[in-house]
Amino acid sequence: MREPPVKPIEWLGDCVRIIDQRELPGREAHLEIKDAGQMAQAITTMAIRGAPLIGIAAAMGLAVEAGRWMGSGWSEFRAEVEAAIAALGATRPTASNLFWALGRMRQALAGGPPDPRSACDRLRAEALKIYGEDLETGRKMGEIGAPLIGEGMTVLTHCNAGGLATSGYGTALAPMYVARERGVKFKVLADETRPLLQGARLTAWELARAGIDTTVICDSAAHSLLARGLVGLVLVGSDRITLDGDFANKIGTYGVALSAKAAGVPFYVVAPTSTIDFKLKNGSDIPIEERDPSEVTVINGRPITPAGVKALNPAFDVTPAHLVTGIITEMGLVKQPLAAGLAKLEPPRG
Ligand code: MRU
């Protein structure tokens, strides 16, 4: 397979090297993560983020932690690994991929001789497999979604569902990379994505790097641009999809979906099957992460609200299935009615 557009995470054996996404676009800084505690911290503080990538990061964080084990007792080793799984699982509640990846790692732990050395090998192999599968998955979603992008079209996206949110191809941005490779000329409108500006900082960074014509807009501009007929297609990622087809994504996605529906613009979710929560019926049961209000009230160290004023900071919202035109997974395009299409998908191992 060809090189992905971005490399946000790399397994170096004794550590995991990640791009510190908080520093983008100003500088491309890296962190070397040496244990599960450091990885949990990197995920919580959003040095590394994006649903598929936090699953991969947690798996690699666990494997690097296991590799540091010096003892020989199986039950102590197991207890240490279980404690690391609990710490990594407590970082961010919304994205299914995190729990799916940790589930696979737990199966790898149990799936062989009860010996710390061989279990370390299994954990490392499983983490690398999750990473490799995500690369293939991203590419496949890109190939399935690329034909939706027509010559001269303007595509709108929200947050960052690109290489920086995955192993390297992305979800919603993967069809854009493939369309670009195929010579299609199109433009992208990237919602800035308050409060942490993943659209302005990260989506714009990776698309501009790939030579894709990108314009950043304020989140509030998306709705009138859709209404004025200036957008031909909306592509977004997801953190969790339920069996009814409702889905969670970055706060603001629901509003974009409503406006796309009102304007008659096709609205697609692009996500791997590891984002589908095969145990959850509808969106009202998705846990929504509430982040620190200071992410809303402080910009670049400067308060933007009067002292003592409260702020709410839900990191995600839930878009109901009826606003979605289709869901692109690595297994193909799921069309309306989404519940019937999702029911035909095989849950990924994990
Ligand atoms: O809070 P973040 O930056 O982790 O949120 C990311 C998103 O909402 C993405 O759209 C989602 O994870 C899909 S990424 C492929």
Helix (H, G, I), strand (E, B) or coil at 15: coil
pLDDT, residue 350, reads: 74
**The residue to which tokens 């199109």 are assigned:** 186
For residue 260, the 8-state DSSP code is H
Name the residue type at position 128.
L
pLDDT, residue 103, reads: 98
Give residue ranges with CB within 6 A of ligand 1: 49-52, 95, 159, 161, 165-166, 171, 198, 237-239, 249-250, 315
Question: Do residues 61 and 33 lie in contact, with contact meaning Cβ atoms separated by under 8 Å?
Answer: yes
Q: Which atom of ligand 1 is nearest to the CA of 158?
A: 10
Give, for ligand 1, the residue of 166, 176, 206, 239 to mutate: max count of ligand atoms closer than 8 Å to Cβ. 239
pLDDT, residue 1, reads: 66
Q: What residue ranges of the chain have pLDDT lower than 50?
A: none
pLDDT, residue 72, reads: 78
CA of 316 to the centre of ligand 1 (A): 9
Output the CA torsion 17→19→23→26 (10° steps).
Answer: 120
Q: Which atom of ligand 1 is nearest to the CA of 289?
A: 1
pTM for the structure as a whole: 0.97
Closest C-alpha among 110, 118, 88 to residue 16: 88
Q: Which atom of ligand 1 is nearest to the CA of 198?
A: 3
Return the structure tokens found at 277. 């929560």
What does the alpha-carbon distance between residue 327 and residue 346 come to, in Å, rounded to a whole number? 15
Annotated active-site residue in 239, 246, 277, 317: 239
What does the alpha-carbon distance between residue 320 and residue 244 come to, in Å, rounded to a whole number? 9
Name the residue type at position 89.
G
pLDDT, residue 2, reads: 78
Closest C-alpha among 58, 133, 138 to residue 95: 58
pLDDT, residue 349, reads: 78
pLDDT, residue 333, reads: 98
Q: Which helix (H) or strand (E) holds 19?
A: strand 16-19
Residue nearest ligand 1's atom 2 by CA: 50
CA of 122 to the centre of ligand 1 (A): 29
Return the structure tokens found at 91. 């970082």
Give, for ligand 1, the residue of 9, 19, 43, 159 to mutate: max count of ligand atoms closer than 8 Å to Cβ. 159
Asked if 239 is an active-site residue, the reply is yes
CA of 268 to the centre of ligand 1 (A): 15
